[in-house]
Structure 1
């Protein structure tokens, strides 16, 4: 079952009652111009077990400890946003699997050659998906990316990922007015803001799946930033990034402008990332479900049951 993503951008009081999230809107309840019946109907409940991600994007949101406990016990990711509506914090459960200690040990004991091989697979899958998206939205040749994908070695010592990224970002928006000279920069001009927001949602989905599979999202197979609590999530999300890029391209085309801000309409589209259709193991699947297959296969690679991580491919790749 696809878990729901709940976004709160207005003042709200969120609590727990009988296994349900209770949503109250104080601005509605305190409005003297609204009829009493409408005020009573403004209270909404959602089953906790149906929720996968909660996004809190307003300084006047109150959430009770009881609700937080229930959300985390059901492996829900809770994201908090800053004053610019950008995700700035992520809360995950400390445990998500009944054999977690054993799974931690398998992950911690994984050899350097294995991690390098897994990174090789990850980068090849990412470049392949970048090539497919580039082919779909531009007339640019993808032979450069195809060659780089074929040449990726264990651990990617020649940095094929970086070279592929330089070519990819130079061309992905080439058919869109005012974006022919786009530079991917976290603090750069739009649509960097849309990409940042989409990647933050994707990161939460992947981190949640890693915890559910009983692994430490901090201990990466490649990323090792001492200040990053989600190195493994940043590793595993790489082949999924092109799906976010594709969505951003389609949003720009839909709205007919490149300098989009994070309006409610744009955020609504980006919040659909967990439900994007992907193909994994030869079958169509929502992205959120596919990520759980990816993280489950990663654990089996650590145990020696599998030799390859299950990553998605573009539908028309």
Structure 2
């Protein structure tokens, strides 16, 4: 069964009853809806007048549901995950901590190569100039010491959208991209925890202020799937400066987008667990190649 992403954007009281999330109106006590907790993967809270019971939080964490709360600008601000999500947590963290620098550099090389390949596939899908991207992914060295990722990104953004500069606080569609990436980051962090790994210990990212360095590493080849959703939305509706509830609901569907991984089509939410499981096996020494999705 495909896990659900739930968005709450109005004043609500959230509680648990018979192992279900219950959404209740705080003024009328009317039940707005219920969702079985076992069917949930992500819960986004996007209103300052939402109250959630501690019992519900505990049950959600016990089922490895990621809880995202949004700020005054309605952008994802915080992520709540369980401390561990695998029975062999300490054993797996041991191998993660002992991973050598050469191994991490090779894993980052694989990550950058697949990210660029997926970006190239997206350009080709929309009949944009794409052949020059071969130069970038074929030139990636261990640890990407020549920054092929950055060079490819400049080419990619120049040709994917017209008159566009990718900036965190730039003009639209940066707002849609930021929101989609934040959701994707949360999904990746959830999968890392379920695989018994620490999201804070990256293979490339090492910012001391970033608690999700590994999630930021592993999400890179998945970013073009968000880009595809944003491109399709703009093609159908035009650019928008406002992140409406409809836009957010659309981008939350990233979790159920079909991707091809290991030769099989899977929802993205399932595919990321394949990736994070393969990462642990690389740490353990069972695999030498990360399993990443291919964008067709």
TM-score tier, shorter chain, comes to: over 0.9
Answer yes or no: is the 8 Å Cα contact 1:152–1:160 preserved in 2. Answer: yes
Among 74, 98, 101, the alignment partner of 1:112 is 101
2:148 is equivalent to residue 147 of structure 1: no
Deviation, structure 1 residue 77: 0.3
Q: How does 1:65-214 map to 2 (within 5 A)?
A: 65-140=54-129, 142-173=130-161, 180-214=162-196
Deviation, structure 1 residue 259: 3.4
2:253 is equivalent to residue 272 of structure 1: yes
Q: Residue 300 of structure 1 corresponds to which residue in structure 2? A: 281
Give SS of 2:6's match: strand
Deviation, structure 1 residue 19: 1.5
Q: Residue 7 of structure 2 corresponds to which residue in structure 1? A: 7
Give SS of 2:42's match: strand
Answer yes or no: is the 8 Å Cα contact 1:123–1:238 preserved in 2. Answer: yes
* Structure 2: tracts of 5 or more residues without a match: none
Give SS of 1:240's match: helix
Deviation, structure 1 residue 45: 2.1
Q: Residue 53 of structure 2 corresponds to which residue in structure 1? A: 64
Query: Which structure has the larger Rg?
Result: 1
Give SS of 2:250's match: helix
Deviation, structure 1 residue 138: 3.7
Q: Deviations over 1:64-103 (max 9, x none)?
A: 1000000001101000001111000000000100000000
Superposed CA RMSD: 1.0
2:272 is equivalent to residue 291 of structure 1: yes
* Structure 1: tracts of 5 or more residues without a match: 31-38, 174-179
The alignment's TM-score, normalised by the length of structure 2, stands at 0.98
Q: Residue 36 of structure 1 corresponds to which residue in structure 2? A: none
Deviation, structure 1 residue 57: 0.1
The alignment's TM-score, normalised by the length of structure 1, stands at 0.91
> What is the CA–CA distance in structure 2 between the aligned matches of 1:20 and 1:299, rounded to whole Å?
32
Instruction: Count residues with an aligned counterpart.
Output: 296
Among 228, 232, 237, the alignment partner of 2:214 is 232
Give SS of 1:210's match: helix
